[in-house]
Structure 1
C-alpha cells in the first residue's frame, strides 16, 4: 500500500462509517477534507471542513475545481450523487461508494437480483425505497467513474458510533446479568462487518486502486455462536465472571409477544426471522476477503464497543427490562417480576426510535 500522503475527500465524515474513514485517513497522514452540512456531528481532529448542501442548487460549488486522490461517499439519495459527480468525477483518482446489501431484491435466499432503480433524480428519502435508491446511486457512479470506482455493499455495520446499536444491546444486557431472552433457533445465521475493519479496507482499496462491486460482509455464524462469543469476550475483559444465562425462545412466540427484529424499541439486535431472511445472513464473504478485507475476531469487535461505550452507555436499541421480563414470564407461565421497572429506571441508557436505515454508514 502507498505510504505517500494523499488528498482525501470524505463526503459526510461526521457520523459513524464516514467519520471513521476520515479519522483513520487523518491517522495515516493524509490531507483529509470532510464535506457536509455540518449538522449531524463533528469531523475528526485534523480534518479540514468544507460546508456543502447537496439538496440545493449550487450546494456543492465549494468543491468545484478541487482535485482529490480518493473520494468516499455514503449517499443514499440519487439526486445528491449527481452534483458531486459533476463537480469532481474528472478530478478524482479513485472513487469509493458505500452502497448496501439492501440493493438485493430477495432476502429469503442468497440472490444477486437487484431492485429496479429509482429515477436518477429521485429525492425520495423513504426507507421503503432505500435499496432501490442505492441501486440508482450505484449506476450513477459506475457510469461516470468506470474502473476508477469501487462500490461496496455492506450488511450490518457494527461497532462504536452505531446509531442503531444492533451489537450494543447484547454486551450491555449481559453485563446486567440475570436471565436473558435469546431468539431461537441457535443455528439462525447472521453476518456483520466491523466499522473499523470496513473503513480500513476502504482506505487500503483506494491505495491499491481496487475497483468493481463487492459485498462488504463477514463470515456467517449462528446466533448461538454469536451470543456465546459476546459472553466469552466479556468474561475475558472481566466484565462478567460466568457465561450469560440465556433462555432460547422460539421466534413465533417472540413475534406474538411484540418483540421486533433489527433495531429500535422492543427489538433484539442482530435478530431476523427464518425463513424470510435466510439469505440475508448467508452472503459469501470470500470475494471481499480476496480483495483485501481483514476481519476482526468477534472478541475484538466487542472489546472496542465496550471500551467506547461502557463508561457512559446510551443504548439505542433493545428490549426494556420490563418488556423482556414480560416475555420471559409468559414463556415460563409465571407472573412478571414487578421489580424490573426499577431496573429500567436505573439503566444508564435510553431506547429512542432508530435514526437511520439499517445499513446507513
Structure 2
C-alpha cells in the first residue's frame, strides 16, 4: 500500500489485514497512523525506493497518488506486480458528460508535478498522467475512478454536512432544512469502506481494466431522505433551485457557505451520473446510504473536531428566511 494513513488508503490497508493479507504501507509518517497489523516503512516518494522495498516479493501494489513522478518511480520499482491504481472521475474533460471509460473524453495529461492540486482540472490532468504510467508500465492493472467518497473519517466534510445537519434537527434546532436543486436531480456516492473492500478484491482476483468506482445513480431527494432515516430525523426539506441558491451566495459542492452534494446543472451534471453497472459486475458491493449516514452520525458524536463543510446554522437560517 503506497500510503496507508489517509482516508481511503488506510481503509484499504485495514480491509486487507482483516482478510488475512500481509500488508506493507509505505508513507512519510506525517498524516496519521497505519492500522494495527500493518508493517510500515517510512519513505519519501520523491526519493528512490529503499533497496529492501525494491527487492520485496509483493503480490500486488495499491497506489492513490496524484503526483506523476511518484507513480512513475513506483512503476519502475515494481513493473511485474499487479497494480490497483485509484484515480478519479476528474480525469474526464467534460463535467457535463456522464460517459465513462472508453466513452468520456479525458483531460490532457499533465506529466509534471505541478504541486498541490490547485483546481479540479490540474488534479484531473495529473491523474490522467498517473493512469497512463501505470497502464503502460506494469504487467497487469486495474484503474478505478471514484466519484464522491463518503463515510466516517472523511477529511473533506462534504457528505458529513448532511448527518451534521440532521443532528441539529434531532436537537430541536431546525426542522426546516435547505435542500439543493430538484428532488429528482441525480447524485451518487460511495462509502469508503465499500470502495476499499472492492480495491482489495481487485488485488486478490488480479482484476484488470478501467472502471468508474461509483455507487448507483440516485435522485438526491431519495439520498437525503435516506440520510434522514439513518439519523432518525424527520426534517421538512425546503428545496431551492440552483439559480436561487447562487443568487443568495450559496456555493456548490464543498467549502465555506456551500451546500454539499449540489453541483450547478447542466455544466456539472455528468460528475454525479456515471454508470455503476460495470463496477457492480466486477464485484463492487455498496451499502445503503442510511447505513453510511448512521455511521457518520456516530462518528460525529464521538469526534468533536470532525471536519464538516458547508453552511453554518446561521447562514442556512438566513437563506431560508430569504426564500420565504
Is the TM value for this pair above 0.5? yes
Quick one: distance in 1 between partners of 2:214 and 2:281? 12
**In the alignment, which residue of structure 1 is the partner of 2:293?**
302
1:193 pairs, out of 190, 193, 200, with: 190
The structural deviation recorded for 1:29 is 1.6
TM-score, normalised via structure 2 length: 0.92
**C-alpha contact 1:50 1:62 (8 A) present in aligned 2:** no
Could you tell which deviates more after superposition, 295-304 or 203-212?
A: 295-304
Quick one: distance in 2 between partners of 1:63 and 1:306? 40
The structural deviation recorded for 1:62 is 5.0
**C-alpha contact 1:60 1:84 (8 A) present in aligned 2:** no
Q: Secondary structure at the match of 2:41?
A: strand
1:184 pairs, out of 181, 187, 194, with: 181
**In the alignment, which residue of structure 1 is the partner of 2:206?**
209
Per-residue CA deviations over 1:250-284 (Å, capped at 9, x if unaligned) read: 21121122211111211112111111112122110
**In the alignment, which residue of structure 1 is the partner of 2:92?**
104
Per-residue CA deviations over 1:202-222 (Å, capped at 9, x if unaligned) read: 111111111010000011111
- Aligned CA distance change for structure 1 residues 255 and 162 (closer, same or farther; 3 Å): same
Quick one: distance in 1 between partners of 2:312 and 2:146? 29
Quick one: distance in 1 between partners of 2:11 and 2:86? 13
- By relative contact order (CA 8 Å, sep 6+), the higher-ranking structure is 2
Could you tell which deviates more after superposition, 107-116 or 129-138?
A: 107-116
The structural deviation recorded for 1:185 is 1.2
Gaps of 5+ in 2: none
CA RMSD in angstroms, aligned pairs only: 1.4
**In the alignment, which residue of structure 2 is the partner of 1:16?**
7
**In the alignment, which residue of structure 1 is the partner of 2:323?**
331
**In the alignment, which residue of structure 1 is the partner of 2:220?**
223
1:48 and 2:39 aligned: yes
Aligned length, in residue pairs: 312
1:117 pairs, out of 109, 112, 124, with: 109
**In the alignment, which residue of structure 1 is the partner of 2:302?**
311
Map 1:145-160 → 2, pairs under 5 A: 145-146=138-139, 148-160=140-152
**In the alignment, which residue of structure 2 is the partner of 1:232?**
229
**In the alignment, which residue of structure 2 is the partner of 1:341?**
none
**C-alpha contact 1:60 1:83 (8 A) present in aligned 2:** no
Could you tell which deviates more after superposition, 12-21 or 221-230?
A: 221-230
Quick one: distance in 1 between partners of 2:142 and 2:273? 22
**In the alignment, which residue of structure 2 is the partner of 1:248?**
239
Quick one: distance in 2 between partners of 1:191 and 1:34? 30
Q: Secondary structure at the match of 2:211?
A: strand
- Aligned CA distance change for structure 1 residues 186 and 60 (closer, same or farther; 3 Å): farther
Could you tell which deviates more after superposition, 70-79 or 256-265?
A: 256-265
1:143 pairs, out of 123, 136, 141, with: 136
Quick one: distance in 1 between partners of 2:12 and 2:220? 29
Quick one: distance in 1 between partners of 2:62 and 2:197? 12
The structural deviation recorded for 1:122 is 3.1
Q: Secondary structure at the match of 2:108?
A: coil
The structural deviation recorded for 1:61 is 4.5
The structural deviation recorded for 1:117 is 0.5
The structural deviation recorded for 1:59 is 5.2
Quick one: distance in 2 between partners of 1:197 and 1:310? 22
1:162 and 2:154 aligned: yes
The structural deviation recorded for 1:320 is 0.7
Larger Rg over CA atoms: 1
Quick one: distance in 2 between partners of 1:62 and 1:247? 58
**C-alpha contact 1:60 1:87 (8 A) present in aligned 2:** no
2:66 pairs, out of 72, 76, 88, with: 76
Superposed structure 1 runs of 4+ greater than 6 Å apart = none
